[in-house]
Structure 1
Amino acid sequence: MRDLQKLVGGLSKSGALSGFLGGVAGGGLTSMVTSKKGRKAGGKVLKYGALAAVGGLAWKAYKQYSANQQGQQAGQQHQGQPQQGYQQPQQQPQTLAADTYTPDPRRIHGQTFDFAPATISQQSFEEVVDESNEGGQLILMRAMIAAAYADGHIDENERQNIFNQVESMELSIEEKAMLFDELRKPMSMHELVAAVPNAQTGIEVYAASASAIDLEQPVSGQYLQALANQLCLPRELVSSIHQQLQTA
């Protein structure tokens, strides 16, 4: 099995990943995991690896989103308003425009994903990034590479520096070949979304993308907005992911 945690760590050192996970994979994860806040973020999912950190961050964001939604429903009941079941949040994060609302059921390439609060277990998030699930780890790594290239700031010289860094990494020929392929031709957003098998993976794909991208570039926000739309993520869940990124 490929050591995808090591691949992501190497990419961060090469400069391919410039966001939160660049610091995490480059050495910042140890302090995050060993701190009290880090231990609470994802329990056993926060192993020492950048991909595992995505799982913990996504789970924490989903918990926050669930608590917020359940609190709003409880408040409506307390005020004597009739409960209509799961209500879509009206507040949107900065990365999403007002016209991006997608009603339930949330269908992605013919599949119905349920992002409703408190319906996805922590174990489901852990399974996506488990070391035995190469497919789950691989799609997160590909999501990070695609996001890092989305801002168009990797010119030919930077690309060559990344390739040289990958060449110097202690990887097998197969692993290097896979990385070179991904770096030369990152997954398109359509291909990435089509590869998402379930709701929890979709949440982690968005978290991984937001973690790796340069959020200071305007095109980055456009990319994340389009990705959230295609993944049909509720706006308030997207907001919770960004809040977790800011506080991690």
Structure 2
Amino acid sequence: MKDLQKLVSGLNKSGALSGLLGGVAGGGVSSLLSSKKGKKTGKKAVKYGALAAVGGLAWKAYKQYSEQNEAAAQQRDSAAFDKAMATRSQPTRHFDFKPATIQEHSFEQVVEDESGSGQLLLMRAMIAAAYADGHIDDNERQKIFAQVETMTLSVQEKAMLFDELRQPMSLSELVQAVPNAQTGIEVYAASASAIDLQQTISQQYLQTLANQLCIPKELVHSIHQQLAEL
């Protein structure tokens, strides 16, 4: 199994990730783990690093969303789904984001899956988002490649990372790769944490991602609130 956390940290050092994930990948998870419940996530972070931090952030955002929106959530989720159906030409992924229906262990399993598929998907989401904001031109890309060459990665790991950097997933490919609601929340959180949120193109990318995953706007707001607290 490849050390995907090492790849994420290396991407941050190379400059590929320009958003809030820089602090997370660099070890700045203290604010995320400051609560009593955060201590459990902290133990996971020792093993899974930034990827565990993203999972913990996604869970906290979903929990906050649940506590604030449980009463009228079903109606809002239905409206969000109908809106997404009306604005999309492609088939819509429809997941159940109703408050309190997803348990914390489900978020943990995305990162802890022994196959590494969840970890890989989050890393690919980060790379796709980093490219979406238009900040990585050919010159910057070559600098990133040069930095990756200096990283302590195996030949296989470098090849995997180069492939992703040369041809990141499209937004539609990313959405189709999301298997369930909890992974969708983590994919969105990872994308938002790896992108420059001040850029209009970044905001448009995230809005489209949320729409195609049918994530309710209240849950999106909770995710961004958790990111702002890092």
Counterpart of 1:148 in structure 2 is: 130
C-alpha distance in structure 2 between counterparts of 1:202 and 1:141, whole Å: 13
AA at the equivalent of 2:34: K
> 1:32 Cα shift?
3.9
Alignment pair present for 1:43 and 2:43: no
Alignment pair present for 1:238 and 2:226: no
Normalising to structure 1: TM-score of the pair? Answer: 0.83
Counterpart of 2:66 in structure 1 is: 66
Residue number among 147, 164, 183 corresponding to 1:201 in the alignment: 183
- Which residues of 2 match residues 60-139 of structure 1 at below 5 A? 60-70=60-70, 73=71, 86-88=74-76, 101-103=80-82, 109=91, 112-130=94-112, 132-139=114-121
Counterpart of 2:168 in structure 1 is: 186
Q: Deviations over 1:6-29 (max 9, x none)?
A: 100000011101111111112323
Counterpart of 1:12 in structure 2 is: 12
For the structure 1 residues 174 and 67, does the alpha-carbon distance in structure 2 shift closer, same or farther, using more than 3 Å as the test?
Answer: same
> 1:69 Cα shift?
1.2
Kept in 2: contact 1:89–1:235 (CA 8 A): no
C-alpha distance in structure 1 between counterparts of 2:138 and 2:40, whole Å: 41
Q: Greater Rg, structure 1 or structure 2?
A: 1
C-alpha distance in structure 2 between counterparts of 1:64 and 1:32, whole Å: 16
For the structure 1 residues 242 and 111, does the alpha-carbon distance in structure 2 shift closer, same or farther, using more than 3 Å as the test?
Answer: closer
C-alpha distance in structure 1 between counterparts of 2:115 and 2:225, whole Å: 27
AA at the equivalent of 2:5: Q
Task: Give 5+ residue unaligned stretches, structure 1.
Answer: 74-83, 91-99
Alignment pair present for 1:52 and 2:49: no
2:76 partner SS: coil
C-alpha distance in structure 1 between counterparts of 2:65 and 2:84, whole Å: 18
Aligned alpha-carbon RMSD (Å):
2.5
Q: Deviations over 1:16-51 (max 9, x none)?
A: 01111111112323x346x523x5347347413111
AA at the equivalent of 1:103: D
C-alpha distance in structure 1 between counterparts of 2:139 and 2:92, whole Å: 41
1:187 partner SS: coil
Q: How many residues align?
A: 223
Kept in 1: contact 2:128–2:169 (CA 8 A): yes
For the structure 1 residues 113 and 85, does the alpha-carbon distance in structure 2 shift closer, same or farther, using more than 3 Å as the test?
Answer: closer
> 1:110 Cα shift?
6.7
Kept in 1: contact 2:93–2:213 (CA 8 A): no
C-alpha distance in structure 2 between counterparts of 1:111 and 1:87, whole Å: 18
Q: Deviations over 1:149-178 (max 9, x none)?
A: 101111122111110111111111111001
C-alpha distance in structure 2 between counterparts of 1:219 and 1:133, whole Å: 33
Kept in 2: contact 1:206–1:227 (CA 8 A): yes
Task: Give 5+ residue unaligned stretches, structure 2.
Answer: none
C-alpha distance in structure 2 between counterparts of 1:47 and 1:27, whole Å: 9
Identity across the alignment (%): 66
For the structure 1 residues 131 and 50, does the alpha-carbon distance in structure 2 shift closer, same or farther, using more than 3 Å as the test?
Answer: farther
For the structure 1 residues 56 and 222, does the alpha-carbon distance in structure 2 shift closer, same or farther, using more than 3 Å as the test?
Answer: same
